[in-house]
Amino acid sequence: MKIFVYETLLNHRTLANVLKHLPKTRNVVLKGYKEGQFKGYPTLHTDKEGSIRGQEFDVSAEDEAKLDRWESHYVRYPVTLSDGSRAFAYIIDPTTFGDSHDAK
């Protein structure tokens, strides 16, 4: 499985701390979204004109579990990157936290 990261996990020190190793990442762009915050947490919001630079990497089942624990206020959401590849991004769950489009 591939994961798209933005914001906090772009910091390789943080990513290595969460996973206990630093995976090989590649720079990618996610179009159709913009970065924002919801209740103090960074998240993604749909935006037809938006684009976000981030990184993508492969995760093992063990890494997936570590990321799920770290991103406990988020759900994994399938996204298509600008090069057509598919990945999952962690996004605030609007059914749990309210409408994410109301973020300030």
Q: Where are the domains of the chain?
A: 2-102
Average pLDDT, the chain: 89
- The whole-number pLDDT of residue 96 equals 63
Measured distance CA(104)–CA(86) in Å, rounded: 28
Q: Are 101 and 82 in contact (CB under 8 A)?
A: no
CATH code of the domain occupying 2-102 = 3.10.490.10
Q: Is the pLDDT of residue 65 over 70?
A: yes
Model confidence band, residue 41 (pLDDT cutoffs 50, 70, 90): confident
- Choice between 33 and 102, residue whose per-residue pLDDT is larger: 33
Over residues 6-27, the mean pLDDT reads 95
Tokens representing residue 73 in the block: 């206020």
